[in-house]
Amino acid sequence: MSNITNDPDEVLNEIAEKANVFEGKEAIRAILREIFLSGTIGTKSLSRKIKMPIPTIAAIRKELEKVNLISREKKGAILTKRGLIFVNDVLGINYLESHSCKKCDSTGLALPHEAEKLIAKQRIFSERRPKPQTEIDQAFGRPITAIRRAYLMLENNDLEGREILLIGDDDFTSLAIAQLKTNAKITVLDIDTRLLKVIKEISEENNFHINCVTHDLRKSLAEDLTNRFDVVLTDPPYTIPGLELFLSRAIQGLKDESGRKIYLAYAHRPPKIQLEVQNSLTKLGLAIQQLIPGFNLYEGAEMHGNTTYISILSTTDSSKSLITLDFSGKIYTGELNPTIREYQCKNGHITEVGLTLETKNIEVLKEKGCPVCGDTEEFIRISRRKV
Amino acid sequence: MSNITNDPDEVLNEIAEKANVFEGKEAIRAILREIFLSGTIGTKSLSRKIKMPIPTIAAIRKELEKVNLISREKKGAILTKRGLIFVNDVLGINYLESHSCKKCDSTGLALPHEAEKLIAKQRIFSERRPKPQTEIDQAFGRPITAIRRAYLMLENNDLEGREILLIGDDDFTSLAIAQLKTNAKITVLDIDTRLLKVIKEISEENNFHINCVTHDLRKSLAEDLTNRFDVVLTDPPYTIPGLELFLSRAIQGLKDESGRKIYLAYAHRPPKIQLEVQNSLTKLGLAIQQLIPGFNLYEGAEMHGNTTYISILSTTDSSKSLITLDFSGKIYTGELNPTIREYQCKNGHITEVGLTLETKNIEVLKEKGCPVCGDTEEFIRISRRKV
């Protein structure tokens, strides 16, 4: 790519191909624009803004550096002179201001002053969470995520006077809801007894009255949990069978009425996969009423750039008849789409990580350090393959 | 309904039935909650907040008055003492604050200071619009609607350096985009030559370079408009065939690449109908990336409570192969779902309105006045039936 005044699509496509980016040239354009808007920006912030995984962003940055469109500064990536010409004159991007709402972080929901206190308390609760079991797709939401969800439900008339079911709760959303001190009745189902034990303890310490039930969601709900709830919230495994199973349980738990709501957290995925998600929802008679990108934030979750969307779904008359009952198939990412990624430490040593290997993910690798030199600082993903 | 301490569902259901509300008891609960939050609130504001048509809201208000849960004040509806007990103690709704973001009107998009000027200018442009032809589902967006859409596209990297197609433009969104003075290239297709003439005139007066093409969207796009655009915006007829047709034209006009975006404005509808919309999108290989309720505001549009949502859709590899080509069926609301509504003026005279009648809608009736007494002030919808 010697001549940046060529067809810009060609330039962007070339970078996308070299960085092995499924999302193609638009992802490269979006990243260049974001760097232009920010002045300098780190990989983590880029990942959150563009809603793509950190390793992918890192790979793109590397390619952009190679062709001298960006350079690396202390605070992150910055456009070179050549990069600035490409963005301004060739791509035609000149507008410098962002109009995403800072007041509500573009969620449409402005947290009140007292939310700070609730977030602080939620942080203390969260510190008692056991280590996430990545094999069952646990990835812990940040304290603000649970608090945001609770306020969103309150705002939408889905907390007060409601019976609420959480299908899985590694994010401790139940505790955030309880913190709002409405008269909502809360039930949590989870397969992980370690998590339930902590929720139960905190609930008792704080007089929250959260009902905790150990349940493998592959099994149908018990009768006393069926046709009972007003609202469900779930952040299921980001696989189609996992999604359909968790949503089936959600529908089972809800009252047998059209218009009952499900709050669904799900990963930002390329259009083709989001279309599969949409197809699953349609198959279950669930209508999307709202979809807020970037609503949920997570503690270092390599897979989805630390953020997922929340969507509000409505049941229809047909939903109850369309669900999956007992299920014995695979639902977790590691079972369905196991991948092996190669990471290179700053000294050039390569380590493989993956759910099927000893080092299950980049977080574990960073904690243990490079097996050769012990480096824990900087790892770049250099390849990714299906097992 | 003598005893409000009965099962609240029963109370709410009874009101929903009497007011003939398809959406059922949850709509009644939402309205009571909104009145509680607001203190007093007028029918129009209620309609916008609850996203239900004004006549439906008016009918519910009437039923709530009858059972002495609300009363009528100058500024609108207010809870009676009995209503307050029902809301607080029986429904369990006590939280008085709303956390919807005032800064961005819950759109996630904070308009900059200078947007005020653009809105003012857009208002001057809009005054030159010819009368809406309700037979072809025209309903004019308010000036802020077009400006919001333009900023949303700018924010999302969909204006600068882009070729943009507007499939129908009775909202004058093309002029709002042009007002932002980016290098975006704008093409407008519409069947209404009156509208195109005004857009063309304003474009020439302001040096906007908007390309206007008269086109009946039932016909396939000309070759020079096919596979050409980066982004499409459309606010189609709110019927399934109308939606599928306009989206087919959108896909035809877009470049043949996965991930091209369509901005779709569509009415808030009950879950069952929103599910049909979703099914149409899925059939066309379009993935919903974002859905912002209440984003678009309209000049007095009886049918959908003055507001619609905007959703951002992404094409996938299969979209191009799934579209409708030439189409000769019905697409407009008046052709597909003609209804006749009876309105009563304050003196008790009843007038029928409907697209198949002389008085096509409530706006026309208000303008002409009651045929018996000439009253133009207050009309209550008392019935609605399919033709």
User: What average pLDDT does the segment B287-303 reach?
Assistant: 87
Q: Does B274 touch chain A (CB under 8 A)?
A: yes
ipTM of the complex: 0.91
Residue A301 has what pLDDT?
55
Residue of B nearest to A159 (CA): B93
**Mean pLDDT value across residues B257-285:** 95
Q: What is the dihedral of CA B89, B90, B95, B98, to 10 degrees?
A: -150
Same domain membership, residue A167 and residue A35: no
Strand partners, A100: B109
For residues A21-31, give the mean pLDDT: 89
Residues A137 and A243 in one domain: yes
pLDDT of residue B358: 83
- Let me know if residue A366 belongs to a domain: yes
Q: Which residues numbered 165-194 in A keep a CB inside 8 Å of some CB on B?
A: 180, 182-183
B272 shares a domain with B128: yes
Q: Of A33, A98, A110, which is closest to B103 when you measure between CB atoms? A: A110
In this structure, is the dihedral angle defined by the CA atoms of residues B291, B297, B300 and B305, taken in order, positive or negative? positive
Which run of H or E residues covers position B95?
A: none
Domain boundary among B297, B322, B347: B322
Shared domain check, A159 and A307:
yes
Given an 8 Å threshold on Cβ–Cβ distance, is A183 in contact with B92? yes
- Regarding whether B239 and B373 lie in a shared domain, the answer is no
Segment A233-251 mean pLDDT: 96
Mean pLDDT of chain B: 91
Nearest to A332 by CA among A61, A150, A138: A138
Least confident of A75-79, A111-115, A363-367, B57-61: A363-367
Interface-testing mutation among A99, A144, A314, with chain B (most B C-beta atoms within 10 A): A99
| Structure confidence at residue B226 (pLDDT) | 97
Q: Calculate the CA dihedral of residues A75, A76, A80, A84 and round it to 10 degrees.
A: -100
Residue B302 has what pLDDT? 59
Dist. CA B251–CA B260, nearest whole Å: 9
B119 in the same domain as B15: no
Question: First vs last Cα of chain B: how many Å apart?
Answer: 33
Lowest-confidence pick of A248-252, A254-258, B360-364: B360-364
User: Where do runs of H (alpha helix) occur along chain B?
Assistant: 8-18, 25-38, 43-50, 54-66, 81-85, 115-126, 143-155, 173-179, 193-206, 240-253, 271-283, 333-336, 362-368
Question: What's the pLDDT at A102?
Answer: 94
Same domain, B128 and B219: yes
Domain contains A96: no
Candidates B30, B110, B259; nearest CB to A102: B110
In a domain, A223, yes or no: yes
What pLDDT is attached to residue A303? 60
Structure tokens at B201: 């005139």
CATH number of the domain encompassing residue B76 = 1.10.10.10
Domain end, chosen from A322, A347, A369, is at A322
- Residue A160 maps to a domain: yes
Which pLDDT does position A366 carry in this prediction?
84
Q: What is the largest CA-CA distance in chain A?
A: 68
Q: Does the residue B309 lie in any domain? A: yes
> Is the domain of A262 the same as that of A170?
yes
Q: In this predicted structure, what is the pLDDT of residue B340?
A: 87
Whether B110 and A103 lie within 8 Å, measured CB to CB: yes
Residue B375 is part of which domain span?
Answer: 338-386
Mean pLDDT of A304-317: 91
- Examine the pLDDT at B4 and tell me if it is beyond 60: yes
Give the pLDDT confidence of A51-69 residue by residue, as tens digits. 888 888 988 999 999 999 9
Reported as a single tens digit per residue, the pLDDT across A195-205 is 999 999 999 99
Query: A141: which DSSP letter?
Result: B
Provide the greatest CA pair distance for chain B: 68
Select the highest-mean-pLDDT range: A157-171, A292-306, A345-359, B38-52. A157-171
Q: Measure B257 CA to nearest chain A CA, in Å.
A: 10
Q: Looking at chain B from residue 200 to 259, which residues have their Cβ under 8 Å from any Cβ of chain A?
A: 257-259
B286 touches chain A (CB under 8 A): yes
Cβ atoms within 10 Å of A278's Cβ, excluding its own: 21
Reported confidence tier of residue A132, pLDDT bands at 50, 70, 90: confident
Tokens of B323: 């579209």
Cα–Cα nearest to A251, from A190, A320, A191: A320
pLDDT at residue B294 above 90? yes
Q: What is the pLDDT of residues B7-65, one digit of tens each?
A: 888 999 999 999 888 778 999 999 999 999 999 999 888 988 888 888 889 889 999 99
A210 lies in a domain? Answer: yes
Average pLDDT over residues B289-305: 84
Q: Is the pLDDT of residue A299 over 90?
A: no
Rounded to an integer, the average pLDDT of A262-267 is 97
Do residue A138 and residue A167 come from a single domain?
yes
Give me the CATH number covering residue A120.
Answer: 3.40.50.150
Find the residue in A nearest to B259 (Cα): A271
Scanning every residue of chain B, which has its alpha carbon at the shortest distance from the alpha carbon of A50?
B156
Given a cut of 80, whether residue A305 has pLDDT beyond it is: no
**Other C-beta atoms lying within 10 Å of the C-beta of residue A236:** 22
B187: left (phi over 0), alpha (psi -120 to 50) or beta: beta
Task: Grade residue A5 by pLDDT with cuts at 50, 70 and 90.
Answer: low
pTM of the model: 0.92
Cα separation, A210 vs A188, in Å, equals: 7
Q: Does B100 touch chain A (CB under 8 A)?
A: yes
Which amino acid type is present at position B275?
Answer: L
Domain for residue B19, yes or no?
Answer: yes
3-state secondary structure of A296: strand
Q: Are residues A188 and A282 in the same domain?
A: yes
Work out how many domains chain B is built from and give that number: 3
Predicted local confidence at residue A346, as pLDDT = 85
Contact residues, chain A, for B51 at CB < 8 Å = none
Nearest to A279 among B110, B112, B282 (CB): B282
Picking from B33, B55, B90, the residue at the C-terminal end of a domain is B90
Inter-residue contact B266 to B298 (CB < 8 Å): no
Classify residue A95: in a domain, yes or no.
Answer: no
- The reply to whether B152 and B251 lie within a common domain is yes
| Distance in angstroms (rounded) separating the CA atoms of residues B155 and B149 | 10
